[in-house]
Structure 1
Amino acid sequence: MSKTYKLFISHSWNYSDAYDSLIKLIEKQDITYSNHSVPKDDPIQTNGTDKQLKEAIEAKMKGTSCVLILAGVYSTYSKWIQKEIEIAQSLGKKIIAIEPWDSERTSKTVKDAADVIVKWQGKSVADAIKELCG
């Protein structure tokens, strides 16, 4: 029986296509995982307060093995990704930064917080998950 990795996959709703692509990339790998991210259609996301969203993120993140964050340049300017980094660090969660495919500029904020930085390649992402999230 294979191990199931509990992942919190950070994302910006403004860039949900990158999140969706990452999910597809992970699903093509020989890895079993459960996604503990706050869904886009969660009422807290659309109608809640910042405090409620922070609490929802923390609750989802608590039970995870590690946190995956896309290291696109937009991450540098996202207050929520910064908060997710802070929550992950306060909970002692390992952070995997994933550099977007064919990106010239990436987020120094995310990469500085990361335990490991990988390229946008299925095997690299899966290997990092297996190594850090075990």
Structure 2
Amino acid sequence: MPALYSYRIFISHAWKYGDEYSRLVRLLDNAPYFSCYNYSAPKEKPLALSRESATTREIAEAISDKIKRAQVVLVLGGMYGIYHSWMQFEVDEARRLGKPIIAIMPWGQINMPAYLREKADRVVGWNTSSIVSAIRELV
């Protein structure tokens, strides 16, 4: 059997909500007939910066480098409203780089920040088939 194509993804998220991020990663890891490489920067594997007290510009460049490698950017909609400054940067950078954006509706919710809804190429619910289908369609 041939190997599965491995989609290159970047997940925009906030460390404070690592559980939601981890649930999404598990969901994608367990999706049948789907493979992906995650370019995100979770708390346990942060951005590679030259020093601990990096400037805002250095952090932005490191995030941009990760987004450049990805084919698609996933944004957890529930975190966006609270931690919008860096997440907005990631959305804007994905748009600037021509990367499709998939906004994922928080589990059990019907609201999505207007800014994110406008910038997203697709808004999907919190379920495996919707997210994987959107990735396949947009990449």
Runs of 4+ in 1 over 3 A off after TM superposition: 43-47
Could you tell me the percent identity over the aligned residues?
36
Contact 2:74 2:103 (C-alpha < 8 Å) held by counterparts: yes
Distance in 2 (alpha carbons) for counterparts of 1:131 and 1:71:
20
Unpaired segments ≥5 residues, structure 1: none
1:39 aligns with 2:45: no
TM-score (norm 1): 0.90
Compute the displacement of 1:103 (Å): 1.7
TM-score (norm 2): 0.87
Contact 2:15 2:42 (C-alpha < 8 Å) held by counterparts: no
Compute the displacement of 1:39 (Å): 3.1
| 1:11 match | 13
1:117 aligns with 2:119: no
Distance in 1 (alpha carbons) for counterparts of 2:70 and 2:110:
30
Q: CA 1:46/1:107 → structure 2, altered by over 3 Å: closer, same or farther?
A: farther
Which is greater in Rg? Answer: 2
Distance in 1 (alpha carbons) for counterparts of 2:53 and 2:137:
37
Distance in 2 (alpha carbons) for counterparts of 1:11 and 1:56:
15
Unpaired segments ≥5 residues, structure 2: none
